[in-house]
A and B are shown apart, each in its own frame.
Chain A
Amino acid sequence: MSADALELLSGEWLDERGRIRPDACTDAESDQRGGLADLIAEWQRVDALVRSSLSLDGAVAWDCFGTDLRVRLRE
């Protein structure tokens, strides 16, 4: 089975909202179609890397954002 086909099959490890289930790796590791566990784990690493790289923690003064917005809305 090709890697592409394996990736398309991995939807069974998504939850009802289409996200990767927290226990997906455990299930996948016990599955006979090996390889999916690694793929799903890689997807989770990709998501985590993107999420951390786009984190706004400490980068925005939200009070100022709200204050500036109120000024603009009054204009």
Chain B
Amino acid sequence: MLVERYQRRVVSVSYGLVGSIHDALEIGQEAFVRAYKNLESLADETRFGPWLMKITTNLSLNFRRDRAAAARRVPVELSDDPLHNGKHSPPGERPGAALSASELRSIVQDAIAQLSAAQRTALILFSIEQLPQRDVAQIMCCSVEAVKWHVFQARRKLREMLRDVL
């Protein structure tokens, strides 16, 4: 079944983009529903995977944009995400202190959140989900060269931001 084949990747991509497992699951459900309702618009059924990833990516980026706009109106202080609730201090303030898994996860996700949308998307789809650059370019509506550049910039920024934990 298509859902079983793609559900993990859909939710994983969304999680990487929105940073909340609860929201990623909701977006994942919506992505499948939209794909189901718009199947007739898919010209080449062999491209279902990239097409579904494009729907997922667009929904996730739209959600993130809307959430950012809402946060500017009402500041959110605590995350209710069980995978993203590790309170942490900046690594530089705790020399020699061992980081817990949840602290490390939180630090990395904070760093990912500071990437541009294009850098974050390219990194998640290419480096993490290991989609071919051609597919990532199609999903992001840009050239393969642009994908390479966004991944390069994302890795470089993360390397700088995560230097203390690498």
Contact = CB atoms under 8 A, between A and B. Distances in A.
A56 to B, nearest CB: 6
Contacts of B4: 62, 66
A59 interface: yes
Q: Which of under 10, 10 to 19, 20 to 34, or 35 or more describes the interface residues of B?
A: 35 or more
B128 A46 contact: no
Given A47-B155, A50-B123, A66-B7, A59 B83 contact: yes
Contact of A56 (B8, B29, B156): B8
Interface string B5-29: 0011001100110000100010011
A7 B151 CA distance: 12
A18 B12 contact: no
B152 A45 contact: no
A42 B152 CA distance: 12
Given A8-B152, A51-B128, 7 more contacts: A7-B152, A18-B126, A47-B127, A47-B128, A53-B112, A60-B21, A73-B33
